[in-house]
Amino acid sequence: MSPKDAMTEQDRMRGTGAGWFEDWRRGTRPDEEELDLEEEPFPVWGGEPEASYFEDEIGGRGEEVVLVTRSAAESAALREWGLLAIARPGTGRWCAASFEVLEGRDLAFVDAAGDGEFAWAASDVRALAGKVRRIGLLRPEGCRGERAPRDLVAFAAEQRARGVGPQVVAEEARACLVELPPAPARAKGKPKGAEGEDDWPTLLYGRRPPVEPFPVDVLPAPVARFVREAAEAVGAPMDFVGLPVLIAAGAAIGRSVALQLKPGYCVSPALFGLSVGGPSSGMSPALAAALRPLRAIDEALERQYQEERAEYDRAAGAARESSTGLPEAPVFQAAVLEDVALEALGPQLARSPRGLLVARDDGAAWVARLSEGRGEERRLWFSGLLGTPLRLRRGGGSPTRLGGPFLAFCGNLSPHVLGALGGRDDGLLERVLFAFPDLPPRPYWSERGLSDEAKAGWANTIDRLRARAVGVGSDGAAAPRVIALAADAQPEWVRWYNAQADAFNAPGADVGAVAAEAKLCDFAARLALVLHLLDLACPPSRGAVEPVPPLGRSALLRALRLCAYFRSQHRRARWVASGGPGSNGVARAIVEWARRAGKTRFSVSELKCALRWLADRPGEPEGALRWLEDQHAIVRQVPRTAVPPRKGRPGSAVYEVHPGLRGQEIQEMQENAETR
């Protein structure tokens, strides 16, 4: 989803109607050439008393969104409630210390029932573009409607009187954030067509797409603590712990609970996930730490089976001597397997009503099996993900019927193996969640390990998730308990889902990329179910809550944050799997044509004459050109003339090509990226 589409989604959810943002983001403002972002005066957010707040509070809570209000009274009310908030008086300049703390952070401009256009925030958004990480416009849920409070002071007081915690607004703030790369603006006084790259923003094309950091705060406190400590102990990014933690939690839930989104449409917590990184990136110890509680359960189940089998053998021997009936043989129900072959999975799934987790440190075997395996094997894996009934035929024997299998997968993968998933249209790549983070510098030796408290907290959580028994259906077969969305979550789900549909149907959208991300709608519901059950299993004072309550708004909003995180990871994985800069084949063809032809600028009509096959793909060239603008690969030239345009057909748009795309530089950049 482009930043424009993302902002349209936010406007629909929050009711801001901030059309000025869309116009500014798309570069249609007439004074773009006169705007020098480097020299734009910044508002001051406080004097000396504010400095300590910036350094101690904002600087020390780096993962939280900073809320920006109209007045100091409103920011003080939000601070007292427990939120990070600063005031924007709208005069003066930024102090350097404040800006250093805010640079690279997430900011949400928040207002009560003020003007729908958020006009008071427009100058700040323009000035902050490219300097902060993400920006959002937020009107909290409690500030909507005729009887809603007219300012944030009254809103905060009303919510505190009701016993509502600040985390509700914090989650809304995260849900409204959008990526905001800087608009392609030139320095004042520089001529168009200058050959130097100093006049251009940083070229993003040919570089791996950026990814979001793992949002560890969406997890309950004991689980979040485990993820942080485990990542630090093994020297790996939190992504490599967080992904297998989510998959292990889903596997522990198994077929005990399912979420119904509408009649006839239910999802399970089954997930497929791959951590992607090179040697010594910490993937293996991170995976081992996350799966240790489930492997301990699997070992206990095997010991129990061995004891029951020994008892059965003794009882069966006695029965044969006395010519009496044989006792019922015990059945081994595994929790974790490493074998990805159909011959091992099919029988074990039939004996395990809760389901199975297949975990492999070497995920390449799983990728190869599904990429090159038999159709029946692929049907088994997809059936295990979707929970659809399946009949397996093995040799000449009778078929094995799986009424509603549950099958999850978690493993590690080297980046170059992703190419085996590229160029496929069978939906395999789109059904995998990826953790593909930027790797930090290798840390120095540390004596700090994973604390016993963190390990026990995670192990107890897994035990509580598995303590909920699998239900029994009307036919006597195993069946999950089915829950629905709560009343406060249903509208959020509908708004979010419809926004994804609008992005898919938007004219000129990159259909391939949007179709791939459409699968995330299904994953959002699965992740929400996992978070909901994790909430019920934590903290340690809680047990298995029965009956399971409907899935509330808090878990859903946190799942949508996870969905945004996995969307960024998936874009990077698709970029590598496609063998080039992004999965946008039309954009790559345009760049290759411009590079080979030595173009410094080109018109759309010239492009379509050279690449005539674009005529068979209506809408895609326009979408590719917009994507290349976002990648700073091209910039559209706006003619500046006092002569009114002549009547008749409008002239063809002209684009200038980034100097970095000329010659062999981009080719070398692509080759280096593919080997990393």
Which of these ranges, 115-124, 127-136, 264-273, 313-322, has the smallest mean pLDDT? 115-124
- Listing DSSP states for 200-257 in one string gives SPPP-TTSPPP-PPP-GGGS-HHHHHHHHHHHHHHT--THHHHHHHHHHHHHHHGGGE
Average pLDDT of 339-350?
76
Is the model's pLDDT at 625 over the cut of 60?
yes
- Whole-angstrom Cα distance, residue 502 to residue 245? 32
391: left (phi over 0), alpha (psi -120 to 50) or beta: beta
Task: Give CA torsion, residues 561, 418, 438, 458, to 10 deg.
Answer: 60
Average pLDDT of 438-463?
88
Give the pLDDT confidence of 638-668 residue by residue, as tens digits: 654 444 555 555 567 889 888 877 654 444 4
- Locus of tokens 């905001």: 180
- Whole-angstrom Cα distance, residue 291 to residue 224? 15
- Kind and range of the H or E element at 113? none
- Locus of tokens 């790559």: 588
What is the residue-averaged pLDDT of the chain? Answer: 76
- Whole-angstrom Cα distance, residue 70 to residue 78? 12
Is the model's pLDDT at 392 over the cut of 80?
no
- Whole-angstrom Cα distance, residue 570 to residue 554? 24
> If pLDDT is split at 50, 70 and 90, which confidence band does 12 have?
very low
Contacts of 572 (CB under 8 A, 6+ apart): 208, 209, 211, 434, 436
Residue 59 confidence (pLDDT): 59
Instruction: Tell me if 112 sits within 8 A of 143, measured CB to CB.
Output: yes
Give the pLDDT confidence of 217-266 residue by residue, as tens digits: 899 999 999 999 999 999 999 999 999 999 999 999 999 999 999 998 99
Q: How many CA atoms lie within 13 A of 453 on its CB side?
A: 7
- Whole-angstrom Cα distance, residue 629 to residue 657? 10
Average pLDDT of 543-560?
86
Q: What are residue 179's DSSP bridge partners?
A: 134
Backbone angles phi, psi at 260, to 5 degrees: -95, 120
- Locus of tokens 């005031």: 87
Give the pLDDT confidence of 297-340 residue by residue, as tens digits: 999 999 998 998 999 888 888 888 887 777 888 888 888 888 76
Backbone angles phi, psi at 545, to 5 degrees: -80, 125
Is the model's pLDDT at 373 over the cut of 50?
yes
Residue 251, token pair as written in the block: 């596997």
Residue 19, token pair as written in the block: 């059309």
Give the pLDDT confidence of 138-192 residue by residue, as tens digits: 888 777 665 666 678 888 888 888 777 788 888 888 877 776 544 444 433 333 4
> If pLDDT is split at 50, 70 and 90, which confidence band does 382 have?
confident
Average pLDDT of 42-51?
42
Residue 545 confidence (pLDDT): 66
Which of these ranges, 89-103, 149-163, 568-582, has the smallest mean pLDDT? 89-103
Average pLDDT of 559-564?
91
Is the model's pLDDT at 274 over the cut of 70?
yes
Give the pLDDT confidence of 68-77 residue by residue, as tens digits: 887 777 888 8
- The residue ranking higher by pLDDT, 302 or 368, is 302
- The residue ranking higher by pLDDT, 493 or 202, is 493
Q: Which residues of 628-659 are buried (b: 16+ CB within 10 A; e: fewer)?
A: bbbbbbbbeeeeeeeeeeeeeeeeeebbbbbb
> If pLDDT is split at 50, 70 and 90, which confidence band does 44 have?
very low
Is the model's pLDDT at 617 over the cut of 70?
yes
Query: In a 10 Å sphere around its CB, with 0-12 CB exposed, 13-18 middle and 19+ buried, how is residue 512 labelled?
Result: middle
Is the model's pLDDT at 54 over the cut of 50?
yes
Residue 43 confidence (pLDDT): 38
Residue 395 confidence (pLDDT): 55
Answer positive or negative: Cα dihedral of 450, 456, 461, 463. Answer: positive
Residue 4 confidence (pLDDT): 37
Backbone angles phi, psi at 654, to 5 degrees: -120, 135
> If pLDDT is split at 50, 70 and 90, which confidence band does 61 have?
low
Specify which of 34-43, 315-324, 339-348 reaches the highest per-range mean pLDDT: 315-324
Residue 187 confidence (pLDDT): 36
